[in-house]
Amino acid sequence: QVQLVESGGGLVQPGGSLRLSCAASGFTTASSAIGWFRQAPGKEREGVSCISRNGGTIFYAYSVQGRFTLSRDNAKNTVYLQLTELKPEDTAVYYCARSATCFRNFDLRTYDSWGQGTQVTVSS
């Protein structure tokens, strides 16, 4: 059974950092593209970052470029999203999801399995 479980969210002050984890089971991260998305209250879910199956391509949304870093540990079957220089507008529920391909436009329709999400709140 395919499953994705996010963790690592929490409350952090502006300028702070968090590392989110996406633990996968039922498939291997080495053979899948993995995307990170977020959804703030009252807003649509938006793409944040994704990594291609072979790990050779990583895309970031312009709003997080230079502040967030996606990485993958195939031995642990886990994908990480390091969040730094956090801003109040980064507050959202963060989700990871599986796809066959990582597109720059983060097309949600290409993702077939989703985690339950982890809350990130940036506030002083």
pLDDT single digits (tens) 36-87: 999 999 999 999 999 999 999 999 999 999 999 999 999 999 999 999 999 9
pLDDT score at 26: 96
What does the alpha-carbon distance between residue 75 and residue 72 come to, in Å, rounded to a whole number? 9
Closest Cα to residue 101, out of 55, 53, 57? 53
pLDDT score at 109: 94
Q: Within a 10 A sphere around the Cβ of 48, how many other Cβ atoms?
A: 25
CB within 8 Å of 46: residues ≥ 6 apart: 37, 38, 39, 61, 106
What's the gap between Cα 1 and its chain centre? 21
